[in-house]
């Protein structure tokens, strides 16, 4: 008689160990990142970072007609989607800083040429401690 109770208890214990009393597993966290750019046939490739606009390395610094510093540059969009942004060009001469902005709207693979004239004397620019920075606000 006790044998039946022992067998019944073992059966209940086996059912509990087999996973019948387990709590459900937590759901996995969603992936992070930005949606991938669509490829040529419209599909995406998972999550990725969009390629930023770029200033080509061959920008030129010259003297403007009024003797100030002129920066000529080319901005390209290497992404496979259109990009809208604002370029910020910051020039500094001996600690004095001037910042200029220009809005951009470039299609995929497009480039545009830009010119910025800063109110720094060109001769002073050539003979002093200077810096130039390009940044984009998307």
The pLDDT tens digits of the residues spanning 79-118 come to: 999 999 999 999 999 999 999 999 999 999 999 999 999 9
* 30 part of a folded domain: no
* 77 part of a folded domain: yes
Encode pLDDT of 107-116 as tens digits.
999 999 999 9
* 12 part of a folded domain: no
* 96 part of a folded domain: yes
* 37 part of a folded domain: no
Inter-residue contact 96 to 72 (CB < 8 Å): no
Report if pTM > 0.85: no
123 SS3 class: helix
**Into how many domains does the chain fold?**
1
Inter-residue contact 80 to 129 (CB < 8 Å): no
CATH label of the domain that carries residue 70: 2.60.40.10
pLDDT < 70 stretches in the chain = 1-49
What phi and psi, each to the nearest 5 degrees, are found at residue 6? -65, -45
Q: Distance from first CA to last CA of the chain, Å, rounded?
A: 80
Determine the structural domain holding residue 83 and report its residue range: 51-137
Tell me how far apart the alpha carbons of residues 115 and 83 are, in angstroms, rounded to a whole number: 20
């Amino acid at each position: 008689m006790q044998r039946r109770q022992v067998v019944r208890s073992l059966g209940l214990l086996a059912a509990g160990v087999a996973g019948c009393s387990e709590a459900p597993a937590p759901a996995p966290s969603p992936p992070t990142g930005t949606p991938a750019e669509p490829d040529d046939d419209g599909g995406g490739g998972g999550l990725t970072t969009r390629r930023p606009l770029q200033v080509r390395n061959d920008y030129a610094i010259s003297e403007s007609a009024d003797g100030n510093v002129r920066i000529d540059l080319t901005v390209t969009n290497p992404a496979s989607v259109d990009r809208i942004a604002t370029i910020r060009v910051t020039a500094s001469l001996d600690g004095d800083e001037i910042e200029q902005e220009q809005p951009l709207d470039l299609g995929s693979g497009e480039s545009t040429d830009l010119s910025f004239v800063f109110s720094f004397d060109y001769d002073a620019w050539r003979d002093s401690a200077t810096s130039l920075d390009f940044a984009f606000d998307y």
